[in-house]
Amino acid sequence: MKKYDVAAYIWPSYTGKEPRAYQFWEKGIGEWQSVLTAEKRCDHHILPRKPLWGTVDEADPKVMEFQIQEAVRHGVNVFIYDWYWYDRRPFLEQCLDSGFLGAPNNGDMNFYLMWANHDAGYLWDKRQTDIDEIIWYGSQPRHEFDRICDRVIEMYFKRPNYYTIGGCPVFMIYEMSNLVRGLGGIDEARRALDSFREKTVKAGFPGLHLQATVYSENAVNVSGVDSTREGSTKDLVELLGFDSVTHYQFVHFVDCNRDYPELLPDVKAEYERIRREYRVPYYPHVSVGWDNNPRFNRLTLPILRNNTPENVKKAFELAKEYSDKYNDVPLITVNSWNEWTEMSYLEPDDVYGYGYLEAIRDTFLN
């Protein structure tokens, strides 16, 4: 049976161990605070949903030991950690460093980093989500970028279970525009990335695999954290020398204010557009859902409806079909393992139980 690399994003906010997180979630339980206060806001709204495993601390190695076991048992064998660098230091690293890497069975699955280099505002603070101000900038100048490179090579790339393609560690970058802005333009950004590659080779690897988050070619800020985008991301992928692309969320490229089955033809069309227009491999993406009302005190759209496990399984099958047809590396990215405040998660809930994990298992392990 063919083995697939099913990689689920991790939003590392479900812990009270990050000191700087208290300004957003003052109760000391991370963004579980927003999940627990979620309310139903319209007739077709399936809220509140609650985690079947409870509001656990995902920086606890015992918690992650269990979650790793359940992930692997259902066919999720890679975690992609959202990784942050704000105000000259990392943010929300505890779930990876203490939780996942502290779990005795972490070697049973691989992991890699997505540098979530978007700006941070008040979105995470439910008391003040309508304030449109920046707290920390995600763009970084060259000297900070070099510190980031040194840190991830030493702390993560050298781990035996860091995910590689062709022996090269995979490092994903979320916001191309912020990358270029911080480094001072396209030419300077290319030089910085080339330096990153050189450092990775000096560390003993055959190279570095840079992966970009791709959006629709004229994306706008839907999630509340992304920058407004204009123009083509495919030009930046080529100019900066990225090795592959994938998506982070369906909401970045299709209309999500409808029933889940209705968007699948558009998802398939976007897969094909990227395959035609980009010169690097595209690793197909599946999002479980979209609804970020848990972060707000008012109704906010879009809301992706009818995302039952049976319907989401159709998306997994679509991604599997694409991967089998076009890709040598069988990597599929999934949003997400635990995005509870965006209602896009694989972890079991009190509505569908283990349904999403069973859909993964039945698609990729059976």
Q: What is the mean pLDDT of each run of 10 residues along the chain (366 residues)?
A: 96 96 96 95 90 98 98 98 97 98 98 97 92 95 98 98 98 94 94 98 98 72 46 83 97 96 98 96 98 95 97 98 98 98 98 98 96
The domain tally of the chain equals 1
Cβ-contact 206, 166 below 8 angstroms: yes
Asked if the bond preceding 336 is cis, omega within 30° of 0, the reply is: yes
Q: String of b and e for 76-108 (b: at least 16 CB within 10 Å)?
A: bbbbbbbbbbbeeebbbbbbbbbbbbbbeebee
How far apart CA 193 and CA 189 sit, in angstroms, is 6
What are the strands, taking DSSP E only, across 150-305?
A: 164-165, 168-173, 209-213, 244-246, 285-287
Radius of gyration of the chain (CA): 19
Cβ-contact 333, 9 below 8 angstroms: yes
Range of the domain at 329: 5-364
Cβ-contact 269, 284 below 8 angstroms: no
Give pLDDT, residue 216.
62
Give pLDDT, residue 235.
87
Neighbouring-strand partners of residue 165:
168
In the chain, count of helices (H) and strands (E)? Answer: 10, 12
Give pLDDT, residue 165.
98
Give pLDDT, residue 139.
96
Half-sphere exposure of 102 (CA within 13 A, CB side): 14
Neighbouring-strand partners of residue 120:
136
The shares of helix, strand and coil residues in the chain, as percent rounded to the nearest 5, are 40, 15, 45
Residue type at position 257: N
What are the strands, taking DSSP E only, across 259-359?
A: 285-287, 331-335, 338-339, 344-345
Which pTM was predicted?
0.96
Q: How far apart are the first and last CA of the chain?
A: 8
Domain with residue 116: its CATH number is: 3.20.20.80
